Structure 1
């Protein structure tokens, strides 16, 4: 006999997937892994006397934002746990700030993405505020990826007295700095052409080793959606851009809205190659669980380290 809980969660996930036009693969992942994951997080939340801060790492287009949305609805509805999602992407420096950084340090830093292009003080403050129960609102920035700039809008959340999970999701969440020897040689033709002397990757690594360490120390728990290879990330990111443009056109009723084309996306993701590959190597040993994805994002296995 199917339990009431299973029937209710199945109906919920059917509606969740239908509303977002998700395929059967996400449903299979949710039923096989994500529902149990939510239960594990809820146990931690109920056992804690403060909000539990969870890092969710995943390469571009791996599905971390969709998983975060699922947890944000699933945990309150079925586990009596509040869930607030912070995206590290919303904390990018403004376009003007990145241009100044690019002029002062290296031109590649004008492109959003790598460690060093985030407003770390603001992110640190937001995580600190989310790490304790409070009756006040916490204002979070909103970044517009199509405009490649931070908006003037803010999103407000409130961490109340209920058991709470705070999710920090992002492609570089939890990644440690590389060893100096790893920086000696360009990781790709992109780096050979644009950063042959290593100024850019050295700056990024220094940021990881210093200011980002303080941010990632606030994580109580870390999970990873691991791609099968970096080449899959390009395909995922192209799909992501197409969906983003289509959604924006529908909302604005304006088919003239444009984003990056395939060539531009391919060049953009090269900024992420070095640290994405580094994460694939080192994070499974650091994360509480790693979901091994195949190219269609179906989870092949779940690996737990602690």
Structure 2
């Protein structure tokens, strides 16, 4: 695991990869002059990712056979900053697995699960002034109920081969660039049985911080800002950042347990994201003859994602997707060397691929599933310790108050009560 090998792919594969790269992100002069049909070898990040998938799929199938479990596709989560090449990587991997390994592959994105325009507008209205939630992109702007439904159908062991699963399609150009989900008649139909599911997203693997940890990071960044070290996190009020952090809880609970293995394209420096996204925009304007965004607008666009990168990338780089957080977080069912949710527990399920500013692979790092000794493994246990008396007293007071108000006010108070109770639990 982790060793890189160069191979000579078929001519059709070379043409496919060359077209994908030139049509999307990888378009530097050096890259385009060297990536020719005569001299191009498999990109290291694609080869490392392919090795990771094939190795774990063999182990995954054996594990399910040993435990007398039914057929089920291997779910591969793929994460990477804007412009890192994650979409191109997934397209390439899907083609290789289909053409060279005769597998039925489903390949889709977190972007396909954006809220409808109407629901996004409601989210913006419910969070006035919060720039992080006015438009699509951040945690909270995806339909988690739809995500769970899609994955449940794809993983249904009783699925009929003639009954397809519809994968949503989202058009970012609608409503003047605000975007909207397309009608179901335009969704992609995929037919079982599936072998591999590739699922990618820029924020896939980001996990919420504990409240005290979030406040500590925010204070630290504020001090750095006062010392002249600018950052985007403190451009937003802490309350708005806390809202974003709360939204991530649903992703961790509803989406992340579906992942069997993980691949992460990690930058050596966050400034690379600006460069990658600028290159993407320049190439789009050159090849599609469209006006596109100015360099200033591109930078402003990336700025909106920087708070999430600053907050959540460190943990993903440090302990990986399947590692337990080392700042007091409880061990989730899908984390650790032995999953407690019954999922696949192969070793080094997370592959971290570190890219330089030219997207060259400089390090391939299989990550161990580390855990914190003596940490609680059941979230309900960690939530109850040390705060039960406070929560009990708070609950009794709220119940008494509810008896004194009318129905409409009672509903609003119940909503506030639920939010505050979750806040107490997280702080515990």
TM-score (norm 1): 0.84
In structure 2, the residue matched to 1:223 is 263
Name the structure with the higher strand share. 1
In structure 2, the residue matched to 1:33 is 48
Superposed counterparts of 1:99-118, under 5 Å: 99-106=121-128, 107-108=130-131, 109-118=133-142
RMSD: 2.7
Residue 247 of structure 2 is aligned to residue 207 of structure 1: yes
User: Residue 259 of structure 2: SS of its match in structure 1?
Assistant: coil
Displacement of 1:46 in angstroms is 4.7
Displacement of 1:69 in angstroms is 0.2
Residue 171 of structure 2 is aligned to residue 141 of structure 1: no
Displacement of 1:294 in angstroms is 0.7
Consecutive unaligned residues of structure 2, counting only runs of 5 or more, are 1-6, 65-70, 222-229, 322-349, 369-428
Query: Measured at CA, do residues 178 and 159 of structure 1 come closer, stay the same or move farther in structure 2, by a change above 3 Å?
Result: farther
Q: Deviations over 1:51-77 (max 9, x none)?
A: 111110111111110010011111021
In structure 2, the residue matched to 1:281 is 314
Q: Distance in 2 between matches of 1:191 and 1:30?
A: 30
Displacement of 1:224 in angstroms is 0.5
Superposed counterparts of 1:84-233, under 5 Å: 84-106=106-128, 107-108=130-131, 109-133=133-157, 134=159, 135=161, 136-146=163-173, 147-153=177-183, 154-161=186-193, 164-184=195-215, 185=218, 189-193=231-235, 195-196=236-237, 198-233=238-273
TM-score (norm 2): 0.62
Displacement of 1:42 in angstroms is 4.3
Q: Distance in 2 between matches of 1:246 and 1:166?
A: 33
Equivalent position to 1:272, from 281, 305, 316:
305
Query: Measured at CA, do residues 44 and 181 of structure 1 come closer, stay the same or move farther in structure 2, by a change above 3 Å?
Result: same
Displacement of 1:173 in angstroms is 0.9
Q: Distance in 1 between matches of 2:84 and 2:241?
A: 24
| Count of residue pairs the alignment pairs up | 291
Higher RCO (CA-CA < 8 Å; seq separation 6+): 1
Displacement of 1:245 in angstroms is 5.1
Q: Distance in 2 between matches of 1:124 and 1:244?
A: 33
Query: Measured at CA, do residues 30 and 112 of structure 1 come closer, stay the same or move farther in structure 2, by a change above 3 Å?
Result: same
Query: Measured at CA, do residues 241 and 44 of structure 1 come closer, stay the same or move farther in structure 2, by a change above 3 Å?
Result: farther
Q: Distance in 2 between matches of 1:86 and 1:18?
A: 21
Query: Contact between 2:78 and 2:263, CA under 8 Å: does it hold in 1?
Result: yes
Q: Distance in 2 between matches of 1:11 and 1:260?
A: 36
The structure that has the greater radius of gyration is: 2
Query: Measured at CA, do residues 145 and 63 of structure 1 come closer, stay the same or move farther in structure 2, by a change above 3 Å?
Result: same
Residue 89 of structure 2 is aligned to residue 67 of structure 1: yes
Q: Distance in 2 between matches of 1:161 and 1:102?
A: 39
Query: Measured at CA, do residues 87 and 32 of structure 1 come closer, stay the same or move farther in structure 2, by a change above 3 Å?
Result: closer
Q: Distance in 1 between matches of 2:304 and 2:41?
A: 28
User: Residue 352 of structure 2: SS of its match in structure 1?
Assistant: strand
